[in-house]
Amino acid sequence: MRILVLGASGLLGGAVHRATAPGVQVVGLTRAGCDVTSAHQVARAIERHGADVVVNAAALADNATCNADPARAMAVNVGAARTVARAAQRQGTTLVHVSGNIVFTATEAPVGRREFEPADNHHGGILAQAKAEAEQAVLDDCTRVLLIRTACLFGTRPGGAWGGLPGRVRRAVTAGETLRMVNNSFTSAAYAPDVADALLTLLRHGQRGIFHLVNEGSTTPYTLTHRLRELTGAHPAQIEETFAEHTEYRLLADDKTTAAGAPMRGLEDALRAWLREDQHARP
């Protein structure tokens, strides 16, 4: 199986690019190699690499960036998602589309949202709206889709920088800033290489449809930051505990992923594994 990863310089794209499995060859392209907003470049990349599967890990994945430039956020997160889906459909390629827990409204009961539940967050910020619309677009335009939802990714980006929330923590540590982290917003979380491994397993098992790929357990931004500080011994600036007006739950149920033979380890194990594997772990 030949897998083409678009957005390979990102946290998740890089992890999928580095992942290995028997019978699987992975090729990765960064934005310089394939801009996902260009239908021509996407079609050419799929054809040139003879891809059986195209993983679209390209996105504007950060709330602040999306709020600062909503038009670009929609173009990359929705328009380009549709472009990749249409190219995959035309070229007989399986599409892996990456989405997240942000597609669900966050104020409901603390049960995990299920894989069969459609996105419903059209009233959140730009990123939430874009990710919800993108899910619908790729499911409408491509018949061979593995749609994965993940949450609060952490890990090391290609090049060595920390990605996700730990990246934010590390930048604050370096700058000596006080971190204000919410402690009543409960979320699933995932180590990017664990997501990549589970994704390859699902593909090798021929799975299609919606799957939730997260490490077992839940956390809050405050708890995760605090734990990170304990594990790395980093001595940052203060971490200030804050509370959102309403308690939020962004938990993903992953029973279907486990039943499909791709169980993911617990969050604490994943955090420890990451810090062991990251040779630059200590700020």
Contacts with ligand NAP, residue ranges (CB under 6 A): 6-7, 9-13, 30-31, 35-37, 57-59, 61, 76, 80, 98, 100, 131, 150-153, 163-164
CB of 39 to ligand NAP, least distance (A): 12
Name the residue whose CB lies closest to ligand NAP. Answer: 10
Q: Decide whether 37 or 176 has the Cβ nearer to ligand NAP.
A: 37
* Measured distance CA(240)–CA(14) in Å, rounded: 32
Q: Decide whether 48 or 238 has the Cβ nearer to ligand NAP.
A: 48
Q: Decide whether 140 or 238 has the Cβ nearer to ligand NAP.
A: 140
CB of 283 to ligand NAP, least distance (A): 19
Reference 80, options 47, 136, 37; nearest CA is 37
Sign of CA dihedral 132, 139, 116, 25: negative
Q: Decide whether 104 or 176 has the Cβ nearer to ligand NAP.
A: 104
CB of 123 to ligand NAP, least distance (A): 18
Reference 104, options 185, 193, 3, 9; nearest CA is 185
CB of 255 to ligand NAP, least distance (A): 19
Question: What percent of the residues of the chain are helix, what percent strand, and what percent coil, each to the nearest 5?
Answer: 40, 20, 35
CB of 75 to ligand NAP, least distance (A): 8
Q: Decide whether 173 or 199 has the Cβ nearer to ligand NAP.
A: 199
Q: Decide whether 135 or 232 has the Cβ nearer to ligand NAP.
A: 135
Q: Decide whether 83 or 94 has the Cβ nearer to ligand NAP.
A: 83
| Residue 46: strand, helix, or coil | helix
CB of 45 to ligand NAP, least distance (A): 10
CB of 22 to ligand NAP, least distance (A): 25
Residue 3 bridge partners (DSSP): 26, 53
CB of 76 to ligand NAP, least distance (A): 5
Q: Decide whether 238 or 280 has the Cβ nearer to ligand NAP.
A: 280
State CA 8 to chain mean position distance. 12
Token pair, residue 189, equals 């979380």
Contacts of 11-15 with C-beta under 8 Å, sequence gap 24+, read 11/153, 11/155, 11/157, 11/163, 11/164, 11/192, 12/57, 12/98, 12/150, 12/153, 12/192, 12/195, 12/196, 13/55, 13/57, 13/58, 14/157, 14/158, 14/192, 15/155, 15/192, 15/193, 15/195, 15/196
b/e for 223-241, b at 16 or more Cβ within 10 A?
bbbbebbebbebebeebeb
